[in-house]
């Protein structure tokens, strides 16, 4: 069974803030132990759960880091039952304006690092383990000026289905969440400064509030739970209806 520690162990990337931080807190509340991975320090852990958190500060775009993170999870907690690939960057441009450096940076962080971490996790995971990829609603619907980002998240969706098909027979589930506009410090600044971004995302979402990190964390926690035990290869959209269509006039 997974794993041998008192609490099942999960890896959550991008855990210092936003969706990753909310996911870490949700999993801790559900009894998981968490390897919290981020390029920034993961600080401010609640004293009641700090014995179940192993903070790892690293750059997952470094090819050596995914295997090292998995080894730390197994060494510290005795096994690995859940991987949440949440770390990512944006900053994409139109296709014609995207140079090789921009393309490589976004793909390395958003897709290649997640692929490597998924690969390393699968080498140690036992039946009953779960992988959740954090994609984007842009993996199913595009907008102008997000070419490399959209491609990277579509690749994550493809990886989700591939892992589900290959490892489902071994008892390992793989699903993804596809967030829409989620309110964070970074998105708040973009909404204030960019009227076009505000029109497409905020005005285009048929729901009376913006998404919150906890909305996505709740979806991830559901996919990691026994309640989702027959869900495999699914992309769960968390976007307030943005992908469903335009708002009423």
Active site residue 167: no
Q: Are 204 and 247 in contact (CB under 8 A)?
A: yes
Residues 6+ apart with CB under 8 A from 217: 19, 22, 23, 25, 26
Structure tokens at 198: 């505000």
Q: Tokens at residue 166, please?
A: 């290959």
Report the 10 Å Cβ neighbour count for 123.
Answer: 11
User: Which pair of structure tokens corresponds to residue 209?
Assistant: 């509030």
Least Cα distance to 127 among 165, 163, 169 occurs for: 169
CA distance 157 to 224: 17
Residue 229 contacts residue 172 (beta carbons within 8 Å): no
Runs of H (alpha helix) within 123-193: 147-167, 185-193
Catalytic residue from among 111, 149, 167, 242? 149
Work out the angle at residue 183's Cα, subtended by the Cα atoms of residues 216 and 218, and round it to the nearest 5 degrees: 15
**Residue 39: Cβ-neighbour burial (10 angstroms; 0-12, 13-18, 19+):** middle
Catalytic positions are 149
């Amino acid at each position: 069974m997974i794993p041998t520690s008192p609490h099942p162990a999960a890896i959550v990337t991008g855990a210092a803030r936003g969706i990753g931080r909310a996911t870490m807190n949700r999993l801790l509340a559900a009894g998981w132990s968490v390897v919290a991975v981020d390029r920034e320090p993961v600080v401010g852990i609640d004293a009641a759960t700090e014995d179940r958190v192993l903070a790892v500060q690293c750059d997952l775009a470094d090819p050596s880091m995914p295997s090292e993170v998995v080894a730390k999870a197994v060494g510290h907690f005795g096994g690995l039952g859940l991987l949440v690939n949440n770390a990512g960057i944006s900053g994409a441009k139109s296709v014609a304006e995207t140079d090789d450096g921009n393309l490589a940076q976004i793909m390395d962080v958003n897709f290649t690092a997640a692929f490597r971490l998924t690969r390393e996790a699968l080498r140690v995971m036992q039946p009953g383990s779960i992988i959740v990829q954090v994609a984007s609603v842009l993996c199913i619907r595009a907008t102008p000026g997000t070419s490399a980002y959209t491609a990277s998240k579509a690749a994550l969706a493809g990886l989700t289905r591939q892992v589900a098909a290959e490892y489902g027979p071994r008892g390992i589930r793989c699903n993804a969440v596809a967030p829409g506009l989620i309110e964070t410090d970074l998105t708040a600044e973009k909404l204030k400064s960019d009227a076009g971004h505000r029109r497409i995302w905020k005005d285009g979402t048929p729901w009376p509030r913006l998404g919150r990190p906890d909305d996505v964390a709740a979806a991830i926690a559901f996919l990691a739970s026994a309640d989702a035990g027959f869900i495999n290869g699914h992309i769960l959209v968390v976007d307030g209806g943005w992908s469903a269509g335009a708002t009423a006039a």
